[in-house]
């Protein structure tokens, strides 16, 4: 159900919610596997782990790596991703650009709250030409705490000049919903994102779940004036 207090801001998780970053992160991971002489994992196995970050992907590809070996692999993955695969195939999810335009046309604002570190987030947002449109971009190292802690959400609301009750947060991981709820925002689960069969999003306590970005439209004030997003 739409919020009782009109929304002023929509905040998005980055990987798996705003943008489909899985192809580029997969490319970096299989490049690392090739360097190490390890058979490449299928894309379908990797995709739904992307929202858990680089460490989770390296652990998936190299389950026996421990300690210094694991850290060396993780750092090499980040280098491959940042220097060679950051934004080759990454795109906004279908329908997302039209949604962002609808938000802007209504005089509302939108932003990003991600656990991705700023040294990866900022160049990616610039490469996608979103840096001048987003009112706030909060990365995993912007504040002392990351999601599921509410602090990143609260800072994003402050920078967007809205109260948490006037904010909607959309994410595809349980920590996204936990962070939004703890901060006092409304929350939606992006079921089109990186959610695997081991997760139970219906138990996360979000206000609702969506299968496509256009389903955010009814949450926006006066959305009926804009019609459906194609």
Q: How far does Cα 172 stand from its chain's mean position?
A: 7
122 in catalytic set: no
For residues 190 and 17, what is the distance between their CA atoms, to the nearest angstrom? 6
For residues 159 and 97, what is the distance between their CA atoms, to the nearest angstrom? 22
Q: Which of 15, 24, 172, 176 is catalytic?
A: 15
For residues 59 and 138, what is the distance between their CA atoms, to the nearest angstrom? 26
In this structure, are residues 50 and 15 in contact, taking their beta carbons and an 8 Å threshold?
A: yes
Helices 118-127/67-84 angle, 10° precision: 20
24: exposed, middle or buried (C-beta count within 10 Å: 0-12, 13-18, 19+)? buried
**Residue the block writes with tokens 């999003």:** 201
Active site residues: 13, 15
């Amino acid at each position: 159900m739409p919020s009782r207090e009109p929304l002023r801001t929509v905040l998005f998780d980055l990987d798996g919610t705003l943008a489909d970053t899985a192809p580029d992160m997969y490319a970096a991971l299989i490049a690392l596997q090739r360097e190490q002489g390890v058979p490449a994992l299928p894309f379908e196995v990797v995709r739904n782990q992307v929202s858990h970050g680089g460490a989770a992907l390296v652990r998936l590809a190299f389950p026996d790596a421990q300690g210094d070996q694991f850290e060396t692999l993780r750092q090499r993955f980040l280098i491959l991703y940042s220097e060679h695969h950051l934004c080759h195939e990454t795109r906004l999810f279908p329908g997302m650009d039209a949604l962002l335009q609808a938000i802007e046309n209504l005089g509302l604002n939108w932003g990003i709250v991600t656990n991705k570190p700023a040294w990866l987030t900022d160049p990616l947002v610039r490469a996608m030409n979103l840096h001048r449109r987003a009112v706030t971009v909060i990365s995993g190292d912007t504040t002392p705490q990351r999601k599921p802690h509410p602090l990143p959400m609260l800072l994003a609301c402050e920078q967007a000049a809205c109260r948490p009750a006037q904010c909607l947060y959309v994410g595809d991981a349980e920590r996204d919903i936990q962070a939004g709820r703890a901060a006092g925002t409304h929350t939606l689960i992006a079921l089109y994102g990186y959610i695997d069969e081991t997760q139970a999003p219906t138990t996360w306590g979000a206000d609702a779940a969506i299968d496509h970005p256009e389903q955010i439209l009814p949450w926006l004030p006066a959305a009926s004036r804009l019609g459906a997003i194609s």
